[in-house]
Amino acid sequence: MSEATPRPVLPPDVVALVPMRNVVLFPHVLLPIAVGRPKSVAALMHALAAEAPLGIVLQKDAGVDDPGAEALCEVGTLAQVLQHAAAQPDRHQAVCQGLQRFRLIELVPGYPFLAGRIERIPESAPLTPRLEALDLQLRERAVELVALLPGVPAELAHGLQAARTPWQLGDVVAGLLDIEIVEKQRLLETVQPADRLQQVLALVNRRIEVLRLSQEIGERTKEKIDDRQREYLLREQLKTIQHELGEDKGDDADIVQLEQRIATAGMNAETEAHARKELARLKRLSEGSGEQALLRNYLDWLVELPWGPPAESPIDLAAARAVLDADHHGLARVKQRILEYLAVQKLNPAGRAPILCFVGPPGVGKTSLGQSIARALGRPFVRVSLGGVHDEAEIRGHRRTYIGALPGNIVQGLRKAASRGCVMMLDEVDKLGAGAHGDPSAALLEVLDPEQNASFRDNYLGLPFDLSRVVFIATANVIEQVPGPVRDRMEVIELPGYTEEEKLQIAQTYLVPRQRAQCGLQPAQCSLAPDALRALVTHYTREAGVRQLEREIGRLMRHAAMQVAQDAQARLEVDAAGLAAILGPAPFEREGAARVSLPGVATGLAWTPAGGDILFIEATRTLGKGRLILTGQLGEVMKESAQAALTLVKARFESLGIDAGAFEEADVHVHVPAGAIPKDGPSAGVAMFVALASLFTGRPVRHDLAMTGEISLRGLVLPVGGIKEKLLAAQRAGVGGVLLPARNEKDLYDVPASVTEGLRIVWLHGVDNAIAAALAPVVPTLPVRETVS
């Protein structure tokens, strides 16, 4: 403090305060503190200059730099500054001696430091028998605590015994404890000595138990290490004694068993020679060494793999067809391909197994179809999930030099199947990812290549393994997400989805009996009427597969199970009218049928990974300067389709009967609802053109029509993909007709007749066909006849 600035004089009940972030000072305790904030430094310097006590008080929130009265604890400690040192201008060190508790009443403004009006809390209390007993017990336990604490000088125990009063002893021991700062503040605020000593004694007892347990754990760990060293020495001595007696043959039971398993594993000459070489090295390793355990694990993998040729089973095409038909409804193309493979296998048993890839939306039965194929072939089935795999080692395995190395998923699956002729399903092959540890899809090339998989080499095994007899079946939702080289090695079979009639057949034949059996019901206890199943398909689900349909049937069965569990005589017969009482209101409705014919609104057909769907193209115009506004999270391809559609409408303004100035005086806004869902693709070109033509001509689009197709600036309608999925979506939405590119007529070959029977299909060669089919005809305006009176 400079000489020009007079030292402030504080009233007797006001002291300078130093708020501490994480320090609690108890009376009768010496404690070093660090002070750095300007106000705290000023308070410290004032206490030194005035030789006055300093108030040490804890902050409630350590993150507050300039605390007010509400940020300070109510009880603090008056302290005398015994030593002071300034390591830096803004960093001061002080050693303080706690004197007495005080209660903070209020902060007093007008000083260059925090100053507070306080009420001193007296320390004296009558010495009761309970207080004397607590004092005696705490002295004994405190000495025991000091003996267990590491690095504590012996003089501290004498200091504890020198404490004169029980409350002084309680404060000294509380300052010694390593406890949370909140618990220390609670002890400081406990004014009654007996209550404070009781709390301190409980904390000391708990701390002693923790220290004792830690000490026991340390001694036990040391004993284990000593026992391990002793065991190693005894084993070495045992080996020496056996060597002197000529008994060190090395043919223990494990080694003999490994030799026998190597001999009967069916390995080829190269693999068997390698295994015996590793076995000889195992014999030379000392028991208990880390390398011995790794080598033993490696040999266990070698002898457990199916090296020998798979067992040949007689092929019965009729039985295989019966298995496939019993497990799955429809899917004629898939079943035909499996039967063709069986026929070839029957004529040429040494032929290669097929590598198939089932592509389709979720819930169409890709994984369960693989299980049925294994049943039809009479082979074991194993599934390898590839979704989210981003490490090449998951396919090829880790090298044995790494700790915790294992073979890849392919070899692990073969070990699980215990056969080299199993059916292995590579599930979700389109969801492989590449990372810093390599590209697993590149490692999959060797697995799926018929020219290479006869000598597949796993990094862990380090030996060639023949995969040519394995029937690989991959599954994917989107074939475009499968890398091209991997896709080129597989025979792709599409499972686009089920029609409404197919879903009804699947529900009646498979889903209802399965869910009824899972709920423990008999057929007489719960039955679903055909109209209830149809309502489930049309109004409670909207999917390409049947996964959600099975969930809804399961909800009905659980409802019936609850009634039967309460009343054994209960019977539940569910019809369409009773679904709402059990499942709630129907979440889906016929969207297409609910739309009315409006100018500028067209219904499009889209393909998604979950199957086909309908989308609505909405166009409107406002006063402006001819801009095109696009909303609805449209991708780049879809934006270009909208621009091409608008350009095509402008180019044909005369044939459409549109005023040429209409384009320059208005802004056109095209929106595709469900704006939270990203959309992209060229197949909305026809729908956008029809919507814009309807907008400018004022002729509404027929609401019972849906359309798809890509357009060119010459007015041609180009073919698109996903025709079957889009037709299924049109059927689910209840539209009466669809407009399709004429060059997609060949794609109707795979569409069931039950889908096309209820739809009027118009084939489009150009956009003129779309205008003629989709827009309402122009209503001629009759001349007004004037009447002359």
* Catalytic residue numbers, as ranges: 683, 726
Q: Are strands 601-608 and 666-671 parallel, antiparallel or unpaired?
A: unpaired
Give 562's contacts (C-beta < 8 A, 6+ positions apart): none
Strand partners, 356: 473, 491
Q: What angle do CA 508, 736, 596 make, to 5 degrees?
A: 115
The answer for 16, left when phi > 0, alpha when psi is -120 to 50, beta otherwise, is beta
Q: Are 697 and 656 in contact (CB under 8 A)?
A: yes
Residue that has been written with the tokens 């008056």 in this structure: 78
Residue that has been written with the tokens 């969801």 in this structure: 431
For the CA atoms of 126, 129, 135, 140, the dihedral, rounded to the nearest 10 degrees, stands at 170
Q: Which two tokens stand for residue 186?
A: 């609670």
**Integer distance in angstroms from the first to the last C-alpha of the chain?**
114
Alpha helix (H) residue ranges in 519-615: 530-539, 547-566, 579-583, 591-594
Q: Is the dihedral of CA 69, 70, 71, 74 positive or negative?
A: positive
Q: Are 423 and 358 in contact (CB under 8 A)?
A: no
Long-range contacts for 133-141 (Cβ within 8 Å, ≥24 apart)?
134/166, 134/194, 134/197, 134/198, 134/201, 135/166, 135/169, 135/197, 137/201, 138/166, 138/169, 138/170, 138/173, 138/197, 138/200, 138/201, 138/204, 139/163, 139/169, 141/201, 141/204, 141/205, 141/208
Centre a 10 Å sphere on the Cβ of residue 352 and count the other Cβ atoms it contains: 17
- The span from the CA of 310 to the CA of 379, in Å, is 9
What DSSP string runs through 627-674? -EEEESSB-HHHHHHHHHHHHHHHHTHHHHT--GGGTTSEEEEEE-S-
Q: What angle do CA 766, 769, 771 make, to 5 degrees?
A: 110
Q: Are 604 and 618 in contact (CB under 8 A)?
A: no
Centre a 10 Å sphere on the Cβ of residue 744 and count the other Cβ atoms it contains: 21
- The span from the CA of 572 to the CA of 720, in Å, is 47
Amino acid in position 709: G
- The span from the CA of 669 to the CA of 681, in Å, is 19
What DSSP string runs through 264-300? HS---HHHHHHHHHHHHHHHHSPTT-HHHHHHHHHHH
Largest CA distance in the chain: 145
The dihedrals phi and psi of 774, each to the nearest 5 degrees, come to -100, -35
- The span from the CA of 94 to the CA of 82, in Å, is 7
- The span from the CA of 433 to the CA of 408, in Å, is 16
- The span from the CA of 768 to the CA of 407, in Å, is 62
- The span from the CA of 754 to the CA of 356, in Å, is 28
3-state helix, strand, coil in the chain (%, to 5): 45, 20, 35
Centre a 10 Å sphere on the Cβ of residue 454 and count the other Cβ atoms it contains: 14
- The span from the CA of 326 to the CA of 329, in Å, is 8
The answer for 95, left when phi > 0, alpha when psi is -120 to 50, beta otherwise, is beta
Q: Which of 705, 323, 708, 332 is nearest to 502 (CA)?
A: 332
